[in-house]
Amino acid sequence: MSEEDLPSPEELLTYGEDLLLRWQEHDLLDSIEMRGNRRMRTRAGVAYLVSRRIELNPRLLAQNPEMVHECFAHELAHIVVYARHEKKARAHGKEWRSLMRQVGFEPEAVHYMDVSAFRTRRRSPRRRRLWA
């Protein structure tokens, strides 16, 4: 699959809204930002927990398109856990695993190595970007 065939960031944000509703996390609606990052090499995705931004690796995911939604949910669950517990919860701890199971994914952390608590400046909410 080519990168152009991946779900658009906008489609993934719509999917994310569905996940947030299922997680009863209405406060985060409209505050999530998503973009592709072609500079990522081995990671499928990263979650910037404070700025609530998800970056996914379009080159890697184009080779594993069946993973796109799970990867997005994986990163979004990190943002939800951080919003609820800040540093009191472990990255792939029981709170995160529970969220993943709630939306039908077997919690699986090993493929990702993805969490970043870097404090990046907050951007305007839901700025939409292309993958490239």
| 80 neighbors 20 (Cβ within 8 angstroms) | yes
Minimum distance from CB of 91 to Zn ion (Å)?
6
| 114 neighbors 47 (Cβ within 8 angstroms) | yes
Span from 34-42, 99-107, 109-117, 121-129 in contact with Zn ion (CB under 5 A): 109-117
| 52 neighbors 31 (Cβ within 8 angstroms) | yes
Helix (H) or strand (E) segment spanning residue 63:
helix 58-63
Closer to Zn ion by Cβ: residue 28 or 77: 77
Minimum distance from CB of 35 to Zn ion (Å)?
18
Residues 6+ apart with CB under 8 A from 87: 117
- Find the binding residues for Zn ion in span 32-91 (CB under 5 A): none
Q: How far apart are CA 56 and CA 8, in angstroms?
A: 11
Closer to Zn ion by Cβ: residue 70 or 114: 114
Instruction: Say how far residue 28 (Cα) sits from the centre of its chain.
Output: 13
Minimum distance from CB of 96 to Zn ion (Å)?
7
When asked if residue 114 is in the footprint of Zn ion (CB under 5 A), the reply is yes
Minimum distance from CB of 101 to Zn ion (Å)?
15
Binding residues for Zn ion, per CB under 5 A?
112, 114
